[in-house]
Structure 1
Amino acid sequence: MLLTGCEAPLNLEGIEQEKSKSVRRTDQLQALAKSKDVIIVVGSDGLVLTGSAPELNWQRQELESKPNFVAVETCPDDSLIALSMEHQLWISDDQGASWRSSDIPTSESLISVTCGPDNSYWATGSFTTLMSSHDKGANWTELSLNEDATISSIQFFDQDNAVAVGEFGFMARTEDGGQNWAIQEPIPNEFFPLGSHFSNASIGWVAGLGGTILSTTDGGLTWQKQATPTESPIYNFYANETRLFAFGDHGTVLEKQDDKWHKLDAPKVPVYLRAGKQIDEKRLLVSGGWGALFTVDI
């Protein structure tokens, strides 16, 4: 007996519909920032989303070289800098409409970026490396604090004072704008802060695995564990003048209220959340993995 058959036609309608969307369920969103009235979200494969509140009609841009962004920050002059895994800093002077790149000359892995009060650029990474540029990325200076740890974040308080934290509880401070750094006593138990935020040189928080958040009121000399309603990793903080939020795995959004952390009523999504910004009096915009980009009522 001769058996014959035919193959069903391939239906690409769903794929084409997904490609037509500004935000797709395959997008891995890593960070967001705000420049003037424009919100910028960056992710893997060169993805840049721009939108304005309150409508948040997102415009999608994919940079040609497909850099894998891990961080984005707004500088004091409202320019934007975005760090990619390819040892590049991407710079935008027009609220994310166009970008130029600066190669960062280091063999170390870089995972965080910030702007100094003087619009200098700072990128941090493995082997306690700090890369800095004071001429808009034309030239870079490499400084290692010679510790076998990754610096996960750096935060400036003013022109001279900043703090850096990282792997194995590493913590260091500068009082001369980053030219010299003094290593402090580490955060206890070799704690690895996935995210950190300091409201000033004395008061700060670090977060990590298991839903752990530690706080200090003496500049890191001592730390206290704070109760949180989750065991999911906490990746990042966002603070404005009056409120402090934290974001983590399994769609976790927390807010600190009266010295306690409370879980906000966010969509129940089984993905990581890495960043957020308050976009008006009632809404917090949150971004994360697998196209997670939504607002939370606050």
Structure 2
Amino acid sequence: MNQKKCGVRWHALIAVVATACVAAGCMQSADLSAVQAERAKSVARFDTFQSAASNGKVMAAGTAGGAIVTSADGGKNWTRQALPELSSVIAMTACADGSLAGLDFYHKVWVSGATGARWEPKSFDKKFNAVSITCDGANRLWLVGAHTTIMSSADKGASWTTVTLGEDAMFTSVQFTDAQRGIATGEFGTVATTVDGGATWQKGPAIPGDYYPYATWFADAQHGWSTGLGGVLLRTEDGGKKWQPMDNPAGTPLYALVPQGDALYAVGAGGAVIVLRDGRWTRFDHGVAIAAYLTSGAALNPQTMLVAGAAGALHVLALPGKLASTVTN
């Protein structure tokens, strides 16, 4: 018999037998218990954490899939809250009054009180694509993103005020160092500053080399650090007018800067963590196996730091170099 015809008939016979078996109920239903058990966890291995924040008592982390997990006991236990709308929490911040806020890719900000027990959505202009959020000392929320646009809210997202520089560039970070002074950095090395509490913003000298910053943080109005595309590390000592390169001992991209006591940490690809002390970055061996990468972090207190990332990575580090709490997936 022709082998091709034989193969066709054999596959047809298998299909007939399988159909008959289903009709007779002889095939067992799939065991989904493992899937259901994974979904029931507060932190699952499929979670991609994109953001984290801490108000000193409660830690919170937001996922790409629209969930926020919180812990009030230093990371020993986590509570999961699935947001009731299509959501992806890409950035988080904590305010001076203890309230927490998470920036949603889908044009919302989720706002919570100091306990993180309940999150309420606050919408903003759907024409504006925001990528970063911060809260200043007066508890005002600030968003930055596309077209060098800066939005602020003095009522926790109920209403918004918009300022734009009119440039075709995206701001990726914003921070206030005191009540009046703030700085935003972004695509193509764009830098903008305010000295009047955000009422007006002025464009300053650009960071050279069409620089794209992942994260920028200032210790005060003059001294700041920035991580960028390709693992670039920079520092400024004059409020962002000039920037100098620094050695990156991790040799990988770093996606977030986390101030921690008198030190500054950077987290990134491959689970890398480095620390800035005495003007020099060094590798930090946290002792945790990270499956993919770390995207964010937050200080709980001067001795404890939360790091979060892909593949369910959610770990609390007791510094220096000890694992205080981790989630086993």
TM category, shorter:
over 0.9
Query: What are the Cα deviations for residues 36-94 of structure 1, in whole angstroms up to 9, with x where unaligned?
Result: 41111111232111112345201111011131111111111111111101111111124
Question: 8 Å contact 1:212–1:233 — kept in the other structure?
Answer: yes
Helix, strand or coil at the partner of 1:10? coil
Give the Cα–Cα distance (whole angstroms) in 2 for the partners of residues 55 and 220 of structure 1: 36
**Shift of the alpha carbon at 1:9?**
4.3
CA distance in 1, matches of 2:139, 2:304: 29
Could you tell me which residue of structure 2 aligns to residue 27 of structure 1? 47
Any conservation in 1 of the 2:56–2:299 contact (CA below 8 Å)?
A: no
Q: How much has 1:24 moved relative to structure 2?
A: 0.5
Conservation of the 8 A alpha-carbon contact between 2:60 and 2:116? yes
Shifted more, 124-133 versus 55-64: the winner is: 55-64
Unaligned stretches of 5+ residues in structure 2: 1-9, 22-26, 321-329
- Are 2:166 and 1:146 equivalent residues in the alignment? yes
Between 1:111-120 and 1:121-130, the stretch displaced more is 111-120
Query: Could you tell me how far apart the structure 1 residues matched to 2:185 and 2:132 are?
Result: 11
Q: Which residue of 1 aligns with 2:152?
A: 132
SS of 1:210's equivalent in the other structure is helix
Q: Identify which of 180, 183, 192 aligns with 2:212.
A: 192
**What RMSD, in angstroms, separates the aligned Cα atoms of the two structures?**
1.9
Aligned with residue 134 of structure 2, among 88, 104, 114:
114
Alignment of 1:269 onto 2:269: no
> 1:41 aligned to 36, 57, 61, which one?
61
Which segment is superposed worse, 165-174 or 210-219? 210-219
Deviation at 1:277?
2.8
Matched with 2:324 is none
2:125 corresponds to which of 86, 95, 105:
105
Going from structure 1 to structure 2, the CA distance change for 1:61 and 1:262 (only over 3 Å counts) comes to: same
Q: Which moved further from structure 2: 266-275 or 59-68?
A: 266-275
Cα distance in 2, alignment partners of residues 10 and 135 from structure 1:
50
SS at match of 1:218: coil
| Partner Cα distance (1:82, 1:231) in 2 | 30
SS at match of 1:188: coil
With 278-287 and 11-20 compared, the bigger mean Cα shift is at 278-287
Question: What does residue 291 of structure 1 align with?
Answer: 312
SS at match of 2:35: helix
TM-score computed with the length of structure 2 as normaliser: 0.85
Give 1:203-222 correspondences, 5 Å limit.
203-222=223-242
Q: Is the 8 A contact 2:169 2:190 kept in 1?
A: yes
Partners of 2:182 and 2:55 lie apart in 1 by: 23
Q: In the TM superposition, what whole-angstrom CA distance separates every residue of 1:204-224 from its partner, at most 9, and x where no partner exists?
A: 001012221101111122211
Match 2:100 to one of 57, 77, 80: 80
Residue by residue over 1:148-173, the C-alpha shift from the partner in whole angstroms, topping out at 9 and shown as x without a partner, is 11011111011111011000000011
Given that residues 147 and 164 in structure 2 are in contact (C-alpha distance below 8 angstroms), is that contact kept between their aligned partners in structure 1? yes
Larger radius of gyration: 2
Change (3 A) 1:236 1:106: same
Residue 55 and residue 106 in structure 1: after superposition, are their counterparts in 2 closer, same or farther (change >3 A)? closer
Aligned equivalents of 1:201, 1:91: Cα separation in 2: 28
Identical columns (%): 35
Deviates more, 1:245-254 or 1:272-281: 272-281
Q: Which amino acid aligns with 2:294?
A: L
Deviation at 1:241, TM superposition (A): 3.3
- Residue 8 of structure 1: CA displacement? 5.5
Instruction: Kindly provide the amino acid, as one letter, of the partner of residue 292 in structure 1.
Output: A
TM-score scaled by length of structure 1: 0.93
Q: Which structure is higher in helix share?
A: 2
Larger mean Cα displacement after TM superposition, 170-179 or 89-98: 89-98
Distance 1:55 1:179, change over 3 A: closer
1:279 & 1:122 partners in 2: Cα distance?
A: 22
Aligned length: 298
Q: Which runs of 5+ in 1 are unaligned?
A: none
Deviations 1:244-267 (A, max 9, x none): 100111111111133222222232
CA shift in 2, pair 1:42/1:99, >3 Å: same
Go from structure 1 to structure 2 and tell me whether the alpha carbon gap of 1:162 and 1:242 turns closer, same or farther (over 3 Å shift). same
Q: Does 1:96 pair with 2:116? A: yes
Counterpart amino acid of residue 296 in structure 2 = A
The Cα of 1:282 is off from its aligned counterpart by 5.2
